[in-house]
Amino acid sequence: MPSYRYQVKTAQGETTVGVVSAENAMTAAAILRNQGHHVLALAPASGNARANDLLTKFRDFNAGKPKQKHVLDFTTQLAVMVRAGISLRAALEGIADQTEHAGFKRIISGLKTDVESGKQFSDALTRHPKLFGPLYVNMVRASEVSGSFGSMLNRIAANIAQQIETRKMVVGAMIYPGVIGGMAVAVTTFLLTFVLPKFAAVFEGKEDALPGSTKFLLALSDFLVNQWPIVIGAIAGIGIGVFFFLKTEIGGLWFDRFKLSAPLFKPMFRALYLSRSLQTMGELINSGVPMLDTLAITGDISGNRLYKRLWQKVYAAVKEGKKIAQPLSRDKLLPRAVTQMIGAGEESGKLGEVLDEISDFYGKQLKDRIKAVTAMIEPIMIILMGGIVGFIAMSIILPIFKMSQIVG
């Protein structure tokens, strides 16, 4: 018979731990509750726990970390099964059996064990904050109170699907200029380190007759060829320095501010943060989550420190009894029209519906902005790459052409 390690609170209020033998986790929890205990945690106990942990870690490493796509599939399946009348415990067990990802399979099994031990499903989800964020947990918690668990899971799944689609669009828009920029650097490096040195012998002794651009490229080529370890070390050092700088609060704030001020990308990122913030806020309000919790969660998942500060200001104002629109009207991060619509929604008592409509508008605008950015980047990068290659080619060809005229 399997054994289960437990942590319980006794009738006297003391917390104790131990091991109980039972056919399954549900039976083990029932045994403990019949003894007058309140079950805090319940998990399978194994005499070879260390070996099992190592094996589990090895399997998880090979499978990779669970992604949002796994969470989406899990939520969609759970919604269908719950609405079909299947109990939560049976639904979790069935989904775990069908899940191929080893790490996520173990997480779902852990959720089932927590539910069997008497925990609320929302409380069980909080043990995995990287997969089930505050938006997910609070929407589930609200549905547990209102009794709309199945329909709420459908809304959560739709929200996750939209987030995945948005992330793909934004990443796709950023990949293209990165690839073109990388090609431009690679071609320039090839010309300077392999092509230009072959012409150095042709120009030797004629430096006085060379134009400034040719002299500069020859000097740069010589430095890259002879001092390449220094160049690679400097690039690596700068890259590592920038990486750790952006990890700091000051660096992250600078980068977030840059994204909202860069001429080409500013409209895209602004639409992204507005859509994400307002959609989150609307979902939580419509789910019945308290306003202060809604504002705190909205700030945490906004994705930009400037917007996070904005929602923190709104949180502080609402806590003092003020309306949401009041602090928003003094900030330029939200368009004036959006602030006015939020104020109208507050007055009419339909704030959730208003936020849904606004977030849908900015979601469509985000798609249009991404298409516009992608369309503008292509000719800009082609012109930039052509200009660099053309500059190098002309700096080499013009001196040769002049020398041929002199010889002729």
* 3-class SS letters over 19-49: EEECCCHHHHHHHHHHCCCEEEEEEEECCCH
Alpha helices in 191-302 (DSSP H): 196-203, 212-226, 228-247, 249-259, 266-287, 291-300
pLDDT at 291 over 70: yes
The mean pLDDT of 174-184, rounded to a whole number, is 79
Strands 38-45 and 15-21: unpaired
Starting at the edge strand found earlier in the chain, the sheet holding 15-21 runs: 15-21, 3-9, 38-45
- CATH superfamily for 161-408 is Type II secretion system (T2SS), domain F (1.20.81.30)
Residue 51's pLDDT band (boundaries 50, 70, 90)?
Answer: very low
pLDDT in tens, 232-253: 999 999 999 999 999 999 999 9
What is the tens place of the pLDDT at every residue in 145-155? Answer: 877 888 888 88
- Predicted TM-score (pTM) of this structure: 0.70
Instruction: Report the phi/psi class of residue 147: left, alpha or beta, with left for phi > 0 and alpha for psi in -120 to 50.
Output: left
The gap from C-alpha 90 to its chain's centroid, in whole angstroms, comes to 31
Asked which of 52-56, 169-173, 196-200 is least confident by mean pLDDT, the reply is: 52-56
Residue 316: pLDDT band (50, 70, 90) is very high
DSSP 255-281: HHHHHTT-TTTHHHHHHHHHHHHHHHH
The distance from CA 226 to its chain's CA centroid, rounded to whole angstroms, is: 42
**Which contiguous run of DSSP H or E holds residue 3?**
strand 3-9
Dihedral (C-alpha) 337, 341, 347, 350: value to the nearest 10 degrees?
-170
pLDDT-derived band at 405, boundaries 50, 70, 90: low
Q: How many residues does the chain have?
A: 408
Token couple for 35: 């003894």
Domain boundary assignment for the chain: 161-408
